[in-house]
């Protein structure tokens, strides 16, 4: 794959695994990237300029906003993200994925493997599970109005927020 978009020029990577398989044994996401896009994540303002990198089918029913972020496109209809600058300031953006965790996950799902980065991102993903526990401890089962911001965040980290 050769990537040329707003945030990367002439970035090359190869697929080392079949699409959607051969994950690390400790990485078991509940939701695939195309399912996430269809449900509504990142206020519809993510991957808009780099769709050529991923299968067209991912974007057929995706909730996207090309002009500006739109919280109404999120599944839980709530603003749920920090700015890219804030992600950078917190050290959450590492090369070669200038858009962060979701870009890494999309590329990992497609079959790219970068062991050091994969290990770091999978550890971040595993730590995010604490939000599942917080919702379970503070919400009635299937009360999707309880902790909507946390549920949206779970969705954006490929955890099932519908419990």
**Secondary structure (DSSP) of 54-110:** S-THHHHS----SSS--GGGSTT-S-----HHHHHHTT--BTTBTT-HHHHHHHHHH
pLDDT of residue 81: 76
Residue 74 structural domain: 2-127
Average pLDDT of every residue of the chain: 95
Distance, CA of 100 to CA of 87 (rounded, Å): 8
Q: For residue 79, is it within any domain?
A: yes
pLDDT above 90 for 83: no
Question: What gap in Å lies between CA 74 and CA 97, rounded to an integer?
Answer: 23
What total of structural domains would you count in the chain?
1
Place 86 in a pLDDT band, splitting at 50, 70 and 90: confident
Compute the Cα dihedral for 156, 92, 121, 136 and give only its sign: negative
Give the span between the Cα atoms of 100 and 94, in whole angstroms.
7
Q: Which residue has the tokens 């994969």?
A: 118
- Show the tokens assigned to 146: 């309880």
Judged against a pLDDT cut of 90, whether residue 87 lies above it is answered with no
86 within domain boundaries: yes
Q: Answer whether residue 134 is part of any domain.
A: no
Q: 138-150 b/e with 16+ CB inside 10 Å = b?
A: ebeeeeeeebbeb
Does residue 161 belong to any structural domain of this protein? Answer: no
- Return d(Cα 67, Cα 46) in angstroms, integer: 11
| Domain annotation covers residue 50 | yes
């Amino acid at each position: 794959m050769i990537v040329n978009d707003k945030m990367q020029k002439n970035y090359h990577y190869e697929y080392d695994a079949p699409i959607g398989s051969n994950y690390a044994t400790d990485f078991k996401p509940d939701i695939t990237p195309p399912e996430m896009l269809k449900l509504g994540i990142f206020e519809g303002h993510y991957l808009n300029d780099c769709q050529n990198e991923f299968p067209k089918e991912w974007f057929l029913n995706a909730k996207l906003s090309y002009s500006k972020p739109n919280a109404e496109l999120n599944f839980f209809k709530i603003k749920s993200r920090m700015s890219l600058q804030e992600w950078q300031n917190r050290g959450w953006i590492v090369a070669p994925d200038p858009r962060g965790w979701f870009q890494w996950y999309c590329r990992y799902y497609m079959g790219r493997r970068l062991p050091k980065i994969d290990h770091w991102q999978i550890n971040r993903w595993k730590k995010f599970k604490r939000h599942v526990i917080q919702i379970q401890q503070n919400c009635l089962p299937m009360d999707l109005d309880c902790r909507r911001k946390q549920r949206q965040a779970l969705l954006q980290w490929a955890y099932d927020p519908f419990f």
